[in-house]
Copies of this chain bind each other. A is one copy, B any other.
Amino acid sequence: MAKNGEKPWLQLQELIAGKEVSTIMAFLDDMSPTETALTISRLTPADQGQLLGLLTPLDAAEVIEDIHETQAAEIIDDLPPVQAAAILGELDSDHVVDLLAEMDEKDAEAILEEMAPEEAREARQFLEYPADTAGGLMVSEYLSYHAENRISDVLADLQANRETYVDYHVQYIYVTDDQKKLVGVLRMHDLLFPSHAALLRKVMISNPLKVKIDASLEELRNFFEEHQLFGVPVVDEHDVLLGVVLPEAVQEATRKKSVHQFLGVSGIVGGEEFRSMPLLVRSTRRLSWLSLNIVLNVVAASVIAFYQDTLAAAITLAVFLPMISDMSGCSGNQAVAVSMRELSLGLIRPNELVRVLAKEASLGIINGICLGILLGGAAYLWKGNIYLGLVVGGALAVNTVVAVALGGLLPLILKRLKTDPALVSSPLLTTVTDMCGFFLVLGMATAMLQKLG
């Protein structure tokens, strides 16, 4: 908690300028992780760099742990590679990989070159694994011993390396053979009772539960739902032990995925955006999505341009075009959200197009009729022209069916095409429903133009 004032970052800024290292540490220790994240994010990049330079790598690593990954990667990216490598040396392996993955390849390589050779080799290897698989989620901080070791060997090693092991979150001891293949597991407290002279292979639980290196996030989620364990060992196709996935990592990855969905449908693409980022980066990233959108909009609007004469003859219709565009988009996006949710829960399979079509089309017909009557009724009441009501209401009704059905199907189709539904569904949907909606209104109007005038 900041002792006084509303803006702890101003206080911290002064402390950094005064290079008051011990006061800085006391100041940061007093804050909750959220407050630390807020305070650090409000410093200038120069101050952020100076702050981490003043702290020991271990203290700097603790600060980095409180900050959101994207922001942490930026700060570390700006440090001299030697200093960055020293700080990364104090973090868990999965955190190191996440941070390096956020950077340019060139910058990450510069830091890797300054890291301890073994750590760098491991990080390079971990960077190869896809993010949402066991390989991408595992840590290398676990304990493993050869099956021919005695309990006394393990206890001696635990004593000797106490300081390194104290940060390991893993609650088990894994047992391997000559080829580093996983053959057994022990819980920590299993070490307490047997004779210290016992061989690990005698006291271990054989054939332990494990997952393959390419296990998907869903498989891992299922694993931890079925087994109340504090970690699962990860092996390659030859059963060689490669790492351990902690249940926290699985939950965190699941959470990240739903944040990503939320940001994607809102048009924030290419990674998270923070207002502390440089203005031009934020602006360019948002524009990249908007410019695609403007092209799609031009395509959709070309339908209106095509029917310009009809519109000139029945100008009242112009009032309804943006409404039909917006309402159809909303109806379709509801269906997109339900499909994406069911996909992420595993309640629908990407090939069940017929089921989704049946479910959404029937809903679309009901909602289409309701909305069509509402809007068509409003149009009729406004101008006293029943044909206007029919055109507007009829077009909205039919277009709602199209939008809802298409919205329900798109995420499944995109998933089968290995495209991210969060990013693509909505722009694609609104373009098609806009074109179709404009075509319905203006096409019907053209057919009964003399009745509308």
Contacts and interface: CB of A to CB of B under 8 A. Distances in A.
A334 B300 contact: no
A363 B279 contact: yes
A356 B300 CA distance: 33
Contact of A367 (B272, B286, B327): B286
A319 interface: yes
A251 interface: yes
B266 A258 contact: no
A291 interface: yes
Interface of A: 32-35, 37-38, 41, 66, 68, 169, 189, 192, 218-219, 221-222, 225-226, 228, 247-248, 251-252, 254-255, 258-259, 261-263, 265-268, 272-276, 279-280, 282-283, 286-287, 289-291, 293-294, 297-298, 300-301, 304-305, 308, 311-312, 315-316, 318-323, 325-327, 329-331, 333-334, 336-338, 340-342, 345-349, 355-356, 359, 362-363, 366-367, 370-371, 374-375, 378, 382, 430, 434, 438
Contacts of A279: 359, 362-363, 366
Contacts of A315: 308, 311-312, 315, 318
7 contacts: A38-B349, A259-B341, A262-B340, A275-B338, A287-B371, A291-B371, A300-B323
A252 B266 CA distance: 23
A34 B218 contact: yes
Contact of A68 (B274, B312, B347): B347
The quantity of this chain's copies bound in the complex is 2
Contacts of A359: 275, 279
A62 to B, nearest CB: 10
A322 B348 contact: no
Contact of A308 (B33, B316, B362): B316
B293 A326 contact: yes
Contacts of A334: 266-268, 286, 289-290
A318 B311 contact: yes
Given A263-B337, A283-B363, A322-B301, A290 B255 contact: no
B318 A297 contact: no
A44 B218 CA distance: 26
Contacts of A275: 338, 342, 347-348, 355-356, 359
B301 A319 contact: yes
Given A294-B371, A326-B325, A363-B279, A331 B301 contact: no
Contact of A318 (B248, B267, B304): B304
A10 to B, nearest CB: 13
B251 A255 contact: yes
Given A34-B222, A37-B346, A294-B327, 19 more contacts: A38-B347, A38-B348, A41-B347, A262-B341, A266-B333, A267-B334, A272-B341, A279-B359, A293-B330, A294-B374, A297-B323, A301-B322, A304-B318, A305-B316, A305-B319, A308-B315, A315-B318, A318-B318, A322-B438
A226 B33 contact: yes
B267 A337 contact: yes
